Amino acid sequence: MASAPRHTLLPQIPYADGPRAVAWLERAFGFRETPGARFTSPGGAIHTELQTPLGGALMIGGAGGHGVYPPGASGRPSMILSVYVEDLDAHCKNARAGGAVICAEPEDKPFGDRVYECVDPEGHRWRFHERLR
């Protein structure tokens, strides 16, 4: 399995429908599945790695694996995943068109980033940043 360097923090996010989640994350957020990274468990859940537009990575796993579930199972997100992108406004437009629920519109922040927040179809909360300075 190809993966990011060992020193990289790699969050693993649970999804009830992994293949659907991967397709959505690629379409709406511009992520790309790492070639050769997908593993399908005997129960049918997938585990794979996705690359973010500016070089980060994250893992997708099945719901219930390692005792974690998507926010839809509890009704509350347990974290916010922050990702840096180029052209934040175009990214937000694409995410909205892909079905993301935008909960904070793009805004310049005092710490030097432009930021927006959204929720994906399984309830995970995402924060996208573009560095302005």
pLDDT class of 7 with cuts at 50, 70, 90: very low
Predicted pLDDT of residue 114 = 97
Return the CATH class of domain 12-131: alpha beta
Residue 25 half-sphere exposure, CB side, CA atoms within 13 Å? Answer: 29
pLDDT digits (tens, 9 = 90+) for 37-66: 999 888 888 999 999 998 889 999 888 776
Determine contact, residues 62/79, Cβ cutoff 8 Å.
no
Residue 5's contacts (CB-CB under 8 Å, 6 or more residues apart) are: none
> Quick one: tokens of 121?
């179809």
Unique residue bearing structure tokens 């790699």: 10
- Domain limits, the chain: 12-131
Can you list the alpha helix ranges (DSSP code H) found in 75-133?
88-97
